[in-house]
Amino acid sequence: MSVCQPLAKFTVAVVAAAAILFAPGAARAQTINASGQPYPNREVNGVSLGESTRPQNLNPLGINYSDCIQNMVLVYSVTLSGFGVANNDNMQVWATNEGDCTADVTRGLGGTSSVEASCWLVNVGLTQPNLQTPTTKQFSIPVQALVGPQTDTIPKAGTLVTAQGPAACLTQPSFAATSITVWFLPLQSNGLLDTGGTPFSQTITADVVGPPAPTNVAIGDGDTLFSMTWMPNMDTDTIGYDIFIDPPPGSGAVVDAGFVPPTPTLYCPDAHAPVTSVTTDAASDGPSDGALASDGALASDDASEDAAELEASASDSAVDATLATTGDAATTATDAGSGCIYINMAPSPPANTGSTCTSTVLTSGTLVVDSGVATTEDSGIDTGATAIETFDEAGLLVETDSGATESGTGGIASITCQYLVGASCSSPAATAYSNTGNPTVTGETISAYVIKGLTNGQTYDVVISAVDGSGNVGPPSTCVDDYPAPVNDFFKIYRQDGGQAGGSFCALEAVGAPAGAPIVGMAFGAVAFTMARRRRRNRR
């Protein structure tokens, strides 16, 4: 072997290295940077909606169920540079709900078979682009592709995840929001990360599941109103509650055919029997001339009229024991003198009172069921599919297609806006699964609301959904129903009993001497003026 042979090889190697080193563009690293637009633009059906479609208090830059179900597309503007023929790198867009996609194993590469991918490809990006100078490119990513593969159904590396359809909007495993990070990666032709490049990432909050339904929903009936109460739910990002009622107030609903208005009757306790019927007007208005007086609001002289006793007996449905004295006769009484009082006969309740709700529109909702978890436990088979079931009235799903017992963790209401109480809607027919305005009630811990403007005697069905910080309207609560009815408050009873006070703070009630109260007021004023004047004089 000649001594010149190794020297020749060394010389060739040096020259080759120098050629690579000084080749045009070879020394420039790939960088991917965000452009001046920090958040993606939103498009639905090709129409740009800007960076945000919601108020600031409703996670405007994140993803909610409404975005997903509309098949919204996020358009990212990203500035690329350093990509050249010399490095042959590609640029791809990946997403993950576990934070990082720069490790090759997270994309299903370079690891052992036991390593599961946690990132999925959402845009194939650019193949060997020649972008040596900074250039802004736009990349569209369907929301359904971002939120779809959140469970263990992430496809293999290289498989592009496209819009998954509505089913993708129900894959979030719980009502808690998740963070999805979008990665713009410089990759070698074999898919491995080019460690010489600089990736860019942006994290977006995704919450496509509404809060759990409020529990213990109850109606307190009043005069043309419902006083609703409920137990607040446990989702900490709850911002309020939407209340739905069927039929909507003011919708021209007809009083239930089963409702019979009270029949005013002149009742004489000593005789223990109704003796004379009177007109409705006379009884409802009470004695307007003050000549008639009352023994109280209750009918019987023999029965206790103590309010506490009344409450106790009423709660036990033992009204008859304290109020009614003969047959069905009961309550609201106005003394007609000589031992007789006007009473209202107990009305027939609406036909469906006491039964379950009859509304079909209020009992619908969608429950997220992670069947990949639950059915595996029960049957040992992971179907890898996501089941979508309809809520029952109890708000819980107990049967799935596989026959396994499961329960969901959240969901979305699918009630149209025309049944929404006290909140704005884009249109009556729109589904209220995303409250883009203000909910009926604002505040996580609020647990009461008064629905006004109802028709006495009309049965209404009511459900309540919680609204989260992303505007998702959760599944409806158990449906409750009842009917409003006339109520006698203190002032009405006082007036019916013959009292004459009232009018306004400044009114002279049933005046005998019109100037009375002002005179007293002037006297008070004179005393105050005298005091002030004397004080000034003393100072001098």
Partner 1 sequence: MPCLQRVSLRGASAFAGLVAASTLVANVARAQDADGALSGRHNNYASPQHFEAELRFAPFSPAIDSDPSLHGATPYATVFGTSPRILVSAELDWQVIRFPHFGTLGPGVGIGYTAMSAAALFASPHGPTQTLISGETTSLDIFPFDAVAVLRIDVLWRDVGIPIVPYLKAGFGMSLWRATNTLGTSVYTTGTGQSVAGEGHSIGTHFAAGVGFNLNVLDEYAARSWDEAMGVNGTYLFAEWAREDLDGLGLQADPLRVGGTSWNFGLAFEF
Of 276-315, which residues contact partner 1 (CB under 8 A)? Answer: 281-282, 285-290, 293-298, 305-308, 310-311, 314-315
Taking the complex as a whole, the smallest distance from the CB of residue 102 to partner 1 amounts, in Å, to 59
**Residue 264, CA distances (Å) to 64, 174, 294 in order:** 55, 56, 15
Pairing type for strands 441-442 and 448-451 reads unpaired
Stretch that binds partner 1, among 55-63, 114-122, 426-434, 491-499 (CB under 8 A): 491-499
Smallest distance from the beta carbon of 281 to partner 1, in angstroms?
7
319 binds partner 1 (CB under 8 A): yes
Q: 362 with 244: CB under 8 angstroms?
A: yes
Q: Are strands 63-64 and 200-207 parallel, antiparallel or unpaired?
A: parallel
Cβ–Cβ under 8 Å, residues 107 and 94: yes
User: Can you tell me the distance from the alpha carbon of 308 to that of 333, in angstroms, rounded to the nearest whole number?
Assistant: 18
Per the DSSP assignment, residues forming a β-bridge with 179 are 205
Q: Say whether residue 16 binds partner 1 (CB under 8 A).
A: no
Pick from 519, 522, 529, 533 the residue near partner 1 by CB under 8 A.
519
Q: Which of residues 66-105 bind partner 1 (CB under 8 A)?
A: none
For partner 1, the binding residues in 438-477 under the rule CB under 8 A are: 450, 452
Q: Is 321 in the site for partner 1 (CB under 8 A)?
A: no
Q: Considering beta carbons, is residue 234 or 501 the nearer one to partner 1? A: 501
Starting from the edge strand earliest in sequence, which strands make up the sheet with 441-442, in order?
441-442, 238-246, 460-468, 480-482
Q: How many residues bind partner 1 (CB under 8 A)?
A: 91
Under 8 Å CB-to-CB from 364, ≥6 apart: which residues?
A: 390, 391, 413, 414, 415, 476
Residue closer to partner 1 (CB basis): 234 or 523: 523
For the CB of residue 247, give the shortest distance to partner 1 in the complex, in Å.
Answer: 19
Coil/strand/helix, residue 374: helix
490 lies in the site for partner 1, by CB under 8 A: yes
CA angle 262, 266, 267 (to 5 degrees): 105
Q: Among residue numbers 324 through 353, which ones bind partner 1 (CB under 8 A)?
A: 324, 330-332, 335, 344-347, 349, 353
Contact window for partner 1 (CB under 8 A) among 135-143, 198-206, 405-413, 500-508 = 500-508
Q: Got the DSSP string for 52-100?
A: -SS-TTS-TTSEEHHHHHTT-EEEEEEEEE-B-TTT--EEEEEEESSS-
For strands 238-246 and 264-268, give the pairing. unpaired
Nearer to partner 1, 7 or 501 (CB): 501
**CA 234 to CA 268: how far, in whole Å?**
55
State which of positions 25-64 bind partner 1 (CB under 8 A).
none
Q: Which is nearer to partner 1, 173 or 274 (CB)?
A: 274
Compute the distance between CA of residue 118 and CA of residue 123 in angstroms, rounded to an integer.
Answer: 16
79 HSE (CA, 13 A, CB side): 8
DSSP bridge pairs for 31:
81, 198
Within 363-392, which residues bind partner 1 (CB under 8 A)? none
Q: Name beta bridge partners: 241.
A: 441, 466
Q: Which has the closest alpha carbon to 183: 78, 47, 87, 85?
A: 78
Which residue lies nearer to partner 1 by CB, 41 or 224? 224
Nearest approach in angstroms of CB 331 to partner 1 is 6
Q: Which is nearer to partner 1, 120 or 259 (CB)?
A: 259
Three-state SS letters, 227-256: EEEEECCCCCCEEEEEEEEECCCCCCCCCC
User: 323, 404, 441, 473: which one contacts partner 1 (CB under 8 A)?
Assistant: 323
Between 161 and 330, name the residue whose CB sits nearer to partner 1. Answer: 330
Q: CA-to-CA distance for 1 and 493, rounded, in angstroms?
A: 124
Closest CB 233 distance from partner 1, rounded Å: 22
Is residue 492 near partner 1 by the rule CB under 8 A? yes
205-234 footprint of partner 1 as x/- string (CB under 8 A): --------------xxxxx-xxx-------
In this complex, which beta carbon is closest to partner 1, that of residue 414 or of residue 440? Answer: 440
The residue within the footprint of partner 1, chosen from 133, 506, 536, 539 (CB under 8 A), is 506
- Cα→Cα distances 32→27, 88, 464, Å: 16, 15, 47
Does 269 bind partner 1 (CB under 8 A)? Our answer is no
Minimum separation from the CB atom of position 361 to partner 1 (A): 24
Identify which range of 22-30, 43-51, 183-191, 497-505 contacts partner 1 by CB under 8 A: 497-505
Considering beta carbons, is residue 430 or 508 the nearer one to partner 1?
A: 508
Identified binder of partner 1 from the candidate list 502, 522, 529, 533, rule CB under 8 A: 502
Among 192, 272, 491, 533, binds partner 1 (CB under 8 A): 491
The reply on whether position 513 binds partner 1 by CB under 8 A is: yes
Cβ closer to partner 1: 134 or 290?
Answer: 290
